[in-house]
Amino acid sequence: MFKVTILGFDQAYASAITGVLDIFGLAGVTWQRMQGLPIQPLFDVQIASLKGKSVKCINQLELNSHVAIENVVKTDLLLIPTIGGDPIEVLRNNVALLPYIRKHYALGADIASNCSGAFFLAQAGILDKRMATTHWGYAELFGQLYPQVNLHIDRMITEQDNIFCSGGGMAWFDLALLLIERYAGHDIATTTAKAHVIDLSRGDQSAYASLRTKKYHQDPEVLFIQQWLEENFAQKIVVNALSTKVNLSTRTFIRRFKRATEQSPLTYLQGVRVEAAKKHLEASTHSVERIVNLVGYDDLSSFTRLFKKHTGLSPSQYGKKFRR
């Protein structure tokens, strides 16, 4: 049996611990039981915490640990669950866990993080110059703290060497199925997914992200244009003419806009329009063609390409997935 160790700490997501316990523990069991086949558990799963203490999760559920992380000599997989609280505070309170992440990485274990659990891997230094992902809502903070990490925020899962990261808070089942396939093969991963009625692969997490408009800068002219674009995106807008609204030259305006928002005015406008289209697709019964017109575009094919670049889905696919 493969040994799976889940690192427990206060303010973790309970489901990212108990869910992983279930899905690994029932691989080779649930489907086989339903089909009348011999049952063969494949994973020995344990929660490990400092000194074996119980873990109080972010939802106030208290979980008992099976073992002290200090006593885990060897494991095939060390998995760090989602941080439910403030990542910086949780890291500050759990500095003592970092040497054990480094230890098992050095011993050759697979190291995996779910969602904001990637902050632990980055803080431990094992993500330097490596590919990683985390929750899209933490992309900016993660990038500021760990610029040496090759962050791919659109990805649901990244893997490089023996390090695995998954995106959003409930992406633990995407990660678990990938790792079950790694250890036990595609058939076991597929039957585990079927038994639990979950998709074997959900693609990337771009479709789940919302527009994050950087407005905490101190440039009043840029703030004015950001607000104007968000109120008037449906109009025909000539980007190079925006500078006249704040009495700046085109060159100066574009330079200041990029410095303040880390985007060009055109990219910002495109993001606003995509976000508006997403809201229409989620809540209205308009046709895709009508929605494209409502957000300021005439060409369906060019907007479809733009929308897919931002979300990973076509407008019709997005509507099917998220419409109320």
Reported as a pLDDT band with limits 50, 70 and 90, residue 211 is low
Residues 6+ apart with CB under 8 A from 253: 221, 225, 242, 243, 246, 265
Reported as a pLDDT band with limits 50, 70 and 90, residue 243 is very high
Q: In this predicted structure, what is the pLDDT of residue 113?
A: 95
Instruction: Work out the mean pLDDT of the chain and round it to a whole number.
Output: 90
| Domains, the chain, with CATH or none | 2-208 (3.40.50.880), 220-322 (1.10.10.60)
Name the phi and psi angles at 47, rounded to 5.
-95, 130
Q: In this predicted structure, what is the pLDDT of residue 9?
A: 97
CA-CA distance, 315 to 306, in Å (whole number)?
Answer: 10
Whether residue 206 has pLDDT greater than 90: no
Q: In this predicted structure, what is the pLDDT of residue 200?
A: 65
Reported as a pLDDT band with limits 50, 70 and 90, residue 207 is low
CA-CA distance, 112 to 60, in Å (whole number)?
Answer: 24
Over residues 227-245, the mean pLDDT reads: 92
pTM of the predicted protein model: 0.71
Whether residue 245 has pLDDT greater than 90: yes
